[in-house]
Amino acid sequence: MSAEKNRWVDTHCHLEMLKEDPAGALEKGREQGLCHSMTIGTNHETNQAVLGLCAQFGDISGALGIHPHYAKDAEPAHFDFIEKNAINNPRIIAIGECGLDFFYTLSEAEPQKEVFVKQLQLAIKHNLPVVIHSRSAEQETLDCLAQVDVSKLRGVFHSFTSSLDMAQKILEMGFYISFNGICTFPKSDEVREVLKQMPLDRILLETDSPYLSPVPFRGKPNVPGNVSVVGEFVADFLGLEAPELAQRCYTNSKQLFGFVDVG
């Protein structure tokens, strides 16, 4: 079956950051089988851009959040904006991305933790999934999750690069795990080991575009349509047919996020 007949979902991209026109990028993606994209906010400015993009295109949904890099700049009004639109805009279907990043530590640890927990609480309050970013912060991420009722929380750990032990712990909590172009990189054996152990009903796919282009497009800006490239790699790695994986990931994405199909 050709890629055009598959139904790939890009569960994590940043359309407002693309160098090319989002309309053109999405149209090219549809030719590769892209059927839905989720564009993800990272700060107050990009959250506003997410709203505009969701109003412009019928086959995308959005998430609003404060990335750990921007935790130091978070203001009460920014959380009010996220909450208001999470309640009132049906195209906003998740909170995030939020979490911890101690690889770069562009914000200090304590503001990161505080902003992360606030967003976890918002997700629980409004029964929305949460999109979690966790880099070089495994135990600290688990500690933050322990501050909320995780039984009432659902979501995804996106762009997963943590350990197999971490994967097992968050799977036990009910989270999904999302894979992108990193799993195609030659030196990403640990990520592929996690992928090998994944239950098929918990796998999601993403691009994180314009970042993390998969092989053979490394060094070039990433685009949502490349989720098909990631998907075909993952399918081959797991010994599945690409249409089967596409359908499984489509079902998983719908189950977690509940986005609305337009065609």
What does the alpha-carbon distance between residue 124 and residue 134 come to, in Å, rounded to a whole number?
19
Contact 10, 207 (CB under 8 A): yes
Q: Could you report the per-residue pLDDT of 29-86, keeping only the tens digit for each? A: 999 999 999 999 999 999 999 999 999 999 999 999 999 999 999 999 999 999 999 9
Which pLDDT belongs to residue 263? 54
What does the alpha-carbon distance between residue 229 and residue 215 come to, in Å, rounded to a whole number?
8
Which pLDDT belongs to residue 6? 86
3-state secondary structure (DSSP) of residue 70 = helix
Contact 111, 74 (CB under 8 A): yes
Q: Could you report the per-residue pLDDT of 118-173, keeping only the tens digit for each? A: 999 999 999 999 999 999 999 999 999 999 999 999 999 999 999 999 999 999 99
What Rg value do the Cα atoms of the chain yield, rounded?
Answer: 17
Contact 202, 176 (CB under 8 A): yes
pTM: 0.96
pLDDT over 90 at 4, yes or no: no
Q: Which residue, 78, 77, 108, 73, is CA-closest to 95? A: 78
What does the alpha-carbon distance between residue 213 and residue 247 come to, in Å, rounded to a whole number?
22
Q: Could you report the per-residue pLDDT of 199-226, keeping only the tens digit for each? A: 999 999 999 999 999 999 999 999 999 9
Which pLDDT belongs to residue 71? 98
List the domain boundaries for the chain: 3-257
Contact 93, 256 (CB under 8 A): no
**pLDDT bracket for residue 2 (50, 70, 90):** very low
Q: Could you report the per-residue pLDDT of 175-204, keeping only the tens digit for each? A: 999 999 999 999 999 999 999 999 999 999
Report domain 3-257's class.
alpha beta
